[in-house]
Amino acid sequence: EAGVTQFPSHSVIEKGQTVTLRCDPISGHDNLYWYRRVMGKEIKFLLHFVKESKQDESGMPNNRFLAERTGGTYSTLKVQPAELEDSGVYFCASSLGQGNLYEQYFGPGTRLTVT
Amino acid sequence: AQSVTQLDSQVPVFEEAPVELRCNYSSSVSVYLFWYVQYPNQGLQLLLKYLSGSTLVKGINGFEAEFNKSQTSFHLRKPSVHISDTAEYFCAVSPYNQGGKLIFGQGTELSVKP
């Protein structure tokens, strides 16, 4: 069974540009989470999808971030326009269903560098 | 609100020695507790979790953790470490009935030396 995959693994962009990160959860997992780790800081929750619906987006830093999960499968996280403080590692995680919320499987992360 | 404090940012230890990675948390609501490990160039992997029941939890790779409610701690231990345990370890909590989101500590880098 394939794990959670993320694309790209690395992205280097200039301030003001747009970047789209993609996450493919484990097949059949209804729950999808995005987290971010800024260098030297803790991993922080961004948002949670249940299928295609946003269940909790309390961690989204501002309206430059837009997350979608079309058809309840893969998810994208777009940053537009990117700022220097957006640099960090973006992790995606998925879990099966209501009874398995606490069994999250993480992807390897996307390292975003904004210059 | 919840917060998690990992008391050591780096822990160097010799192979076959015991190790304890410390974690304290603060929360106004009940939480579940977790330890994750991240090996180089990989995603986070669940080591163990405490949801209910016995306060001593055993996980993968010989790790265990003990939940202490009065001290709001969830320290991770292993009696004898291997070189392959070199990784970054994260303590996390998840508040009851909040969809499973995780609140992480800052991470502890465990370095096992021969």
pLDDT digits (tens, 9 = 90+) for A57-104: 999 999 999 999 988 899 999 999 999 999 999 999 999 977 666 789
| B41, B92, B99: residue with CB nearest A101 | B99
The mean of the pLDDT values for chain B is 95
More confident residue, B63 or B42: B63
- State whether A43 and B104 contact (CB < 8 Å): yes
Q: Round to whole Å and give the CA distance between B114 and B112.
A: 7
Which positions in chain A touch B45 (Cβ < 8 Å)? 106
The pLDDT of B91-98, averaged and rounded, is 92
CA–CA dist A74, B1 (Å, integer): 30
B44 vs A91: CB contact, 8 Å cut-off? yes
First to last CA, chain B: 41
